[in-house]
Each structure stands twice: as structure tokens, then as C-alpha cells.
Structure 1
Amino acid sequence: MPVVNRIADYATDMTKWRQHLHTIPELGLECPKTAAFVAERLREFGVDELHEGIAQTGLVAIINGRGAGETIGLRADMDGLPIPEETGVDYASTHAGKMHACGHDGHTTMLLGAARYLAETRNFSGRVALIFQPAEENGGGADVMVREGIMDRFDISQVYALHNAPGFEAGGFYTTPGALMAAVDTFTVHIQGVGGHGAMPHETRDPVMAACGIAQAIQTIVSRNHRALDDLVVSVTQIHTGTVDNVIPDTAYLNGTIRTFDPAVQKMVMERMAQIVAGQAASYGVEATLDYEVGYPATINDADKAAFAVGVASEVAGDAKVQGDSGREMGAEDFSYMLQERPGAYLFLGQGDSAGLHHPKYNFNDEIAPVGASFFARIVETAQPVE
């Protein structure tokens, strides 16, 4: 079946919701305006339970179906990014320096659309738990919600989520069984040297040269310390040091990201990076401290649930617009914490041609909102039909 007709009727309302949310982007766990708007809509829809204040501003709404059954979790993230908006739309961000540059306003809207339909029709057995999560971009809101016990508290048996995908056919879906997105770690190196006059480098212990040496040596982890067929990214993304052209500074700072799928590869990177930083510091006569922060784990779809979700997506969008084995990619997503606790699947929904994610000109495509809402609704109705 295509987009659910009743959800298609909500399209105008969904656009209004989404564009309002776009004006009030919030960061991290602090999403009070967004949460208040979501809670107001959910009360209007007549959900059976509304639990607020989870992970500070997260919400879980429960809708009971007709008869006994399990509880399916559907998740949407709510937070924005610290990016000044450049879209020029008349509903642009009213919060300076913040914008919905990743489409979480659209994700929240799609789950609200599904909530309205499911509360109205209740054409399913068991229950659905609608999870509105803060802090996907930074702060691991999914991890916080899991640690606060939502899976056990609401007896969630399986869980699903969507993310929009710029550059992929609007209204199409793709995912893959097993590992879909990488684990993400962050490293920072603080270098303490001895500064001095740029004309007298022999009197210094130069942190600039040490920073360059460490940055270059770190790249050998990928090229020389791991099996070429194992996916691995190590990227130095920041080097900060110095003030003027004729002064060698005292300190330097490096920062970057690491993406892995295999915990053994992750462990190897951690060990080699520590060795490289210590060795390079000694060779340049400086002191260097490595801070290695383990971040979101890999996003791993349950193979059976992914296949089920692909079947539902095909009903909504048509077989030709769904890729069920698209391969994995090096982005990261904190929905991984929920998938560690319960079987489920994460899918991408095509946004069509647009600016990329995290770009100041990005804007969610409102035309795909009924497609995503239909997918969420049909997941519930298909998994738990009324008997």
C-alpha cells in the first residue's frame, strides 16, 4: 500500500508543525520548547500515557491498541545544531547560532504524524511507545534514556527509527542488515613545549613541529597497522597553535575523530595512538597528553527486524524505491544504544536533492513527512495486527 490516506490528510498540519519546530532549534538535552510543543500535540491526539522529563526533556507516549500484545518502540530525535542558519526561509531559526541542520524537526514531525494516526485508529494489538529523544547530536540522549530505564519501564520489545537522506530519491528508503553505521570516538592531544623567538628555534622545544609530526604519524595507523579490508577512519580535524609569525608558541592542540566497526580495531587504534603520541613527544622533546573519548557504538540492525522493516518500507514506497542491502557507512548515530538493548532497525528516508546534513543551507523536505509517518504507522500495524 502507498502512503496511508489518513496520514496524507495530515500533510498540511505536519508542514505547519515542522516549520514551527524549525524556528525553535534547541541543543543537547535542553529542548524544553520542543518538548512542550510535542507534549501539547500528543495530548491533543489523546495518547493513553505521557511521560515527560526523561533525559531531562525527552518524552515517551504510550498508545494502547486493541487487545493484548507486545510494545513496539518508535524513536525520533528532537535536537538541533550550533550552526547559524542560511536557508533564507520565512520560518528560519529564531535562536541565534542554532538551526535544524540535520532534519530532526522533520523526524519529530513524522513521529507526531504517526502518533495522531495510531491514537485515532488503534488498528493494532499491544502497545506502541513513542520515544521523543533529545541530544542525538551531542550528549548521547539515547544512552541517557536507556540508562534511565525506558526499555524495561515500558516493556519495549523492538525499536525502530528513521533518518532523512539528502541526495537519495525523495520518499525512497535504504538500510542494511547488521552493521549500518560506525562507532565514533574522539581524540585530543595537548602538547606542552617551550616557546621562544622564531629566529632562535634552537632555544625552544617546538610544539608546532611536534603537532605536525603527531598528525602525520597518526595516519600510519590506517595505512600500516590495520587490515585493509577492515573499515577504519582516523581523521585529524583540528590543529590550533601560535599567534604571530615570529614567535614559536609554548603549546599546541590536536583534535580528531575515529570511526570503527570492530571492537578489536578500536582497541588497536587506542593502543597505537597512545604509543605514537608518547613516542613523538619524546622525539621532539615536548610533553604530550592524549585524551581518548569513547563515543557512540556502532549502529547494528537486527537482521530479521531489518528485513521486516524493508518489507514495510516497500509497501509504503514501492519495491523500486527501497534498497534493503545498501552497505554500511562511517557516520554514527546514538540510536545504537537502543539497538544494543532491543532488536530493531534504523532506516534512511530519501530527502531528494538538497543541501547536505549539517550544512547551513539544509532544510527538511516537508513532502516526505507523510511517507515517514506512514512507515512508522505500518510498522506497528504489520507487526501487531488486530486478531
Structure 2
Amino acid sequence: MGDRLKHELVKEIEKLLPELLEIRHAIHANPETGFEEHETAALVSEKLKAWGLEVEEGIATTGVVASLKGRLPGQRAIGLRCDMDALDIVEKTGLPYASKKRGKMHACGHDGHTAMLLGAAHYLSENPDFGGTVHFIFQPAEEGLGGGRVMVEENLFERFPMDAVYGLHNKPGIPVGQFATRPGAMLAATDSWTVTFQGTGGHGGSGPHLSTDPTMPLGHFIPALQSIIGRSVPALESAVLSIGHIQAGEPGVTNVIPSEAVVCGTARSYDPDVRGLLEKRLNEIATASAQAYGCTALVNYERGYPSLVNHDEQVQIAVEAAADLVGKDQVNDRLTPITAGEDFSYMLQQRPGCFMMLGNGVGQDGKFNNLHTPLYDFNDEIIPLGVAYWVSLVGAELGPQSLERRDAA
């Protein structure tokens, strides 16, 4: 499909925009957090069934998968995935469709992601000009609870066989009309850790010499932690260790040495060996710091989402699908890796695929409201382009031109 026809595709999809805006704003006004997306899932299922798709509900509690067969010959199948959950954030946008549930907000654009994938399902149900099957995956609980992992554990790929799987996420700071991705590691593994230093505590005025003070190893642990990045992680690898919480003693009791000091933080990495190194060295430094001052250290290192690793062939397909819409110069296929995490990584561990970023816009002054902030809002202007990307990707994977590409390979 040439540039002219692709441009016409976006125009044709814009006819669906009033309905998609209504859906997006309804979801935004009624945000639901992880594994509680009952109203959202019901709305998604209602629309998909009305458009004639085969729908399976209740996967990973509130997940929905719809399937659509093309009218051309073909046996391949692909998955298109979006996320549906909101965040525990108080919205401050003042929009007419702002959250009606105080303390919950669609601050990451999952409402827009859901609307775009629904738009693709609607368009393709009326124009099934492809061979094989498309599975539309509406995933719950991306925000920290691992809904993607649960869907995989509940046999997503056995119940709905797929040769490849794709994800799409909006990105504030990238101009509208631009896409970005990269082969290999694109998003980081997201781990959390807690170190509890334990001593005897004691009277800080009359008996500090009689106590073992856990604030002493805590004080040495904090700067030593960053030596892991500077002296243990190879210079050409990337990793982050950050402290997010420290607690020791009671604020109003200043003459008591506490018996316990707690420090918590996050660890980010891309390479599995570096991930293991962070855990090992953090444990060693915490233990050595405690022993130096007669204390003990309890270390709890919890592995979160694994690094999201794109597959080369699917990145090429996704980039070409996006470039057909906006031109090659508007697609960045060498995006700098991001230290945020995504549980789409679990799906990419099971099937080849690609995670693509779609520009959510940036102001003329270079400013924008970032994800996970009270003023963020998904940009409705990008909905037709997001839908068109999904449709273009289906054509690249399952359309007649896909057979020519595979024959040539």
C-alpha cells in the first residue's frame, strides 16, 4: 500500500473518531486499577461483540481477547496488545471527562491505548483484507501487578496461537506523527529492594557506647551503594540504583538510638548478568556494612518485570508499517533505551515481537505533561494514527505483500 493510499487510510479511520473519542473519554472518567477493570472490560467486550468478533473474557481476571479471521487465504496469526488499567493518582487536569473516582486516574494513556485497539478491531472487522488471524489482547494490570505475566501463565499463547505479538504505547515528548522503537533491549528490568539494618539501639545521651547503632551501617551503605554502578557494572552497560525511602527511630524521640534502620529503593538494568550483579553486590555491601558496626542486615531483593527485548525481524516489520504512514524520516528505529519497565516483556519472552512508541506530542516551548503525573492527558489527536498503525501492521504481517516478503526471505 503506497503513501497516497496510507494517507487515505488515516482519513478513512478518522470517520471512526467520534465513537472512539466517546469510548476513550468514558474510560478516562471511570478509571479502574489493576485486576479491577470490570467496567472497562465489559465496555470492550460489548463493542467487540457488536462488531462480530469472537470474544473470550475473564483471562487474568479482567482481560479480554478477541479474534478476527481475514477473508484472504493464510494460516499465520499475530497478536496486538494494549493495556487497560489506571493508576492511584489524584487527577488535576480539570477536563470535562476527568476522573469521577478520586485517587484513581488514567495517567499513562491506557484509556487511549484501549480506544486505538478497539478502533483497529472495528476497522478490520469491516475490512478484513488479510489472510490468517488477528488476536486483539486487552490486558489488565500493567501498572506493577504483572497482568501480562498472568495472561501468559494462563496459557494465552496456547489458547490463542500467535506467530508474533506487538505492543504500542504513547510517549510524551515525541512530536505527534512520529514513532520510535529499537531492536534488542528497549525497556529495563524493574526490581525493588529493602535492606533492614538491626542493632540493639540504646540511650543516645547516657549510653551510646553500650549500644550497636544501625544508623552507622546505614550511613555508610548509602554512598557505597553507588560504587556498584561506578566500579562493578561494566562501563558499556547501563544500570540504575536509587533510594526511595529511609526510616529509623521516631521523629519526636531524639535521645534514643533506634534498634532498626530501613532503606528501600529500585534497581534498573537491561542485561540479565548485570541484573544478577546488582543483586549480589547490594547484598554484599549491606552485609559488610552491618558487620563493620556489630549489626546485622536483612536484604530483600524482589525481581519485578524483566527487560523488554524486541526482536529484530519484528522491529523491521513494525518500522516499515509505521513508515508507510508517516515516512521513514518520522520513524526512529534507534530509540535510546528507557529505564522504565513494561510487562509486555513477558509476552516477548514467549513470542517474537516489537514494542512501538507513538508520539503523544510536545508543546512549542518544549514542555509537556509526562506519564504518571496529575496533569497528564492522552492526546486524542493521535488516535487515528494509532489505529492506522495497527491496520498497517496487520497488512505488513498478514496482507498479500507479507507473502512476497517471506518468499523473498
| 1:302–1:343 Cα contact (<8 Å) kept | yes
| 1:238–1:256 Cα contact (<8 Å) kept | yes
Match of 1:381 in 2: 395
| 2:317–2:396 Cα contact (<8 Å) kept | no
| 1:169–1:321 Cα contact (<8 Å) kept | no
1:62 pairs, out of 53, 62, 67, with 67
2:174 pairs, out of 143, 153, 168, with 168
Could you state the TM-score of these two structures normalised by the residue count of structure 1? 0.96
CA RMSD of aligned residues (A): 1.5
Residue deviations 1:325-349, cap 9 Å, x none?
Answer: 2232222111111111111100100
2:327 pairs, out of 292, 296, 318, with 318
- Helix, strand or coil for the counterpart of 2:244? strand
Please list, as runs of the form range in 1=range in 2, the aligned pairs for 1:130-279 lying within 5 A after superposition. Answer: 130-200=136-206, 201-244=208-251, 246=254, 247-279=256-288
Q: For structure 1, which segment, 189-198 or 52-61, has the greater mean C-alpha deviation from structure 2 after superposition? A: 189-198
| 1:182–1:298 Cα contact (<8 Å) kept | yes
Across the two proteins, how many residue pairs are aligned to each other? 386
- Partners of 2:197 and 2:103 in 1: how far apart? 31
Report how far residue 274 of structure 1 moved.
1.2
Report how far residue 218 of structure 1 moved.
1.4
Report how far residue 193 of structure 1 moved.
2.7
- Partners of 1:232 and 1:138 in 2: how far apart? 20
Report how far residue 100 of structure 1 moved.
0.8
- Partners of 2:381 and 2:248 in 1: how far apart? 46
Residue deviations 1:90-138, cap 9 Å, x none?
Answer: 2111222111111111111110110110111111111100000011111
| 1:35–1:58 Cα contact (<8 Å) kept | yes
Structure 2 letter corresponding to 1:210: P
- Partners of 2:133 and 2:371 in 1: how far apart? 33
Report how far residue 6 of structure 1 moved.
2.6
Alignment gaps of 5+ in structure 1 = none
- Helix, strand or coil for the counterpart of 1:70? strand
Percent of aligned pairs with the same residue? Answer: 45
- Partners of 2:43 and 2:209 in 1: how far apart? 62
- Helix, strand or coil for the counterpart of 2:75? coil
Report how far residue 307 of structure 1 moved.
0.9
Structure 2 letter corresponding to 1:51: E
| 2:74–2:398 Cα contact (<8 Å) kept | no
Q: 1:195 to 1:96 in 2, by over 3 A?
A: farther
- Partners of 1:97 and 1:193 in 2: how far apart? 38
Match of 1:124 in 2: 130
Structure 2 letter corresponding to 1:307: Q
2:372 pairs, out of 351, 358, 363, with 358
Alignment gaps of 5+ in structure 2 = 1-5, 363-367, 404-409
- Partners of 2:275 and 2:187 in 1: how far apart? 14
| 1:312–1:375 Cα contact (<8 Å) kept | yes
Q: For structure 1, which segment, 177-186 or 303-312, has the greater mean C-alpha deviation from structure 2 after superposition? A: 177-186
| 1:76–1:111 Cα contact (<8 Å) kept | yes
- Helix, strand or coil for the counterpart of 1:69? strand
| 1:6–1:117 Cα contact (<8 Å) kept | no
Report how far residue 242 of structure 1 moved.
2.7
Could you state the TM-score of these two structures normalised by the residue count of structure 2? 0.91
- Partners of 1:293 and 1:173 in 2: how far apart? 33
- Partners of 1:102 and 1:368 in 2: how far apart? 15
Report how far residue 224 of structure 1 moved.
1.1
Residue deviations 1:35-59, cap 9 Å, x none?
Answer: 1111111112211x11111011001
- Partners of 1:152 and 1:86 in 2: how far apart? 42
